[in-house]
Amino acid sequence: MNNTVPVLQMITQSDIVTMVILGILAFMSLGSWGIIIVKFFKHKSNLRANAKFFKEFCKLKHFSELQKLCTVSSDSALRLLSVEVLNEVSKFKGKVTYESIQHRSSLLEDAIQRSIEGIRMGEDRYLTFLATSSNLAPFFGLLGTVWGIMIAFFQIGHHGSADLTVVAPGIAMALITTVAGLLVAIPASAGYNYFTSKNGSNETSYYNFGSQVLSLFKRGDMLAVEGVAEEEA
């Protein structure tokens, strides 16, 4: 408490430029922490939902069962991917042949690619704010420090004395912005790197899941073709 009061006094006694810089840094800090907290809980929730969906998916024996799984499952990235695949499959027409299998699979690969890109864009949303805050906050802090030092030198010239009682308050106020800039940049940088890494891992798992969905679909097509071939034989 004894350390907090002098800091608050220095902030309230700062000039307009320093106050503006501190206001910008406060906005960056609130925005960064808000994004970090919201994304952290969303990431944990998504992991649980994906794990539950994947566990049920592994029990499927036929591609046709995927529709029912998507209907009864809660929202998750894997469910969204599966729904996109099902929507693409619903557009297929005609009897399955050996010639059409490759074409149908290629269309599903495109659908999976588009779906994963859309999911990744959603997961990366607002991370730009964290990156911007981590990059700009130290410079705003430095700007405030340089400005404060200029004011301190002006006061030295105005009073005609370099006494510590004249210089110290200005230097102290100048250093506040440096500290504020670092307090914004450090968590913003850590949060950006953390979520970028996690989203990259998620993307890899989405592609792996998409490959399994595609394999399940191909097996269904092959069984259909083989069944027709057996009937004709």
**Using one digit for the tens of pLDDT, what is the confidence trace for 103-123?**
888 888 999 999 999 999 999
| Tokens read off for 28 | 């960056």
d(CA 137, CA 129): 11
- The structure's pTM equals 0.80
Q: Please give the angle made by the CA atoms of 51, 56 and 61, to the nearest 5 degrees.
A: 140
Report which of 54, 29, 5, 3 is spatially closest to residue 206, judged by C-alpha positions.
54
In tens, the pLDDT along 182-219 reads: 999 999 999 999 999 999 999 999 999 999 998 888 88
d(CA 19, CA 180): 12
Give pLDDT, residue 223: 59
| Residue type (1 letter), 173 | M
Report which of 42, 108, 110 is spatially closest to residue 76, judged by C-alpha positions.
42
Contact 44, 194 (CB under 8 A): no
Contact 230, 73 (CB under 8 A): no
> Helices 16-57 and 77-89 meet at what angle, rounded to 10?
60
User: Would you write out the chain's pLDDT as a tens digit for each of its 233 residues?
Assistant: 455 545 555 666 667 888 888 899 999 999 999 999 999 999 999 999 999 999 999 998 888 888 899 999 888 999 999 999 988 888 877 666 666 777 888 888 999 999 999 999 999 999 999 999 999 999 999 998 888 887 777 766 665 555 555 566 667 777 888 889 999 999 999 999 999 999 999 999 999 999 999 888 888 766 554 443 333 34
Q: 184: number of CA atoms within 13 Å, CB side?
A: 32
d(CA 129, CA 135): 10
d(CA 139, CA 182): 9
d(CA 188, CA 129): 9
User: Count of CB atoms within 10 A of residue 63's CB?
Assistant: 20
Question: Would the CA dihedral through 28, 34, 35, 36 be positive or negative?
Answer: positive
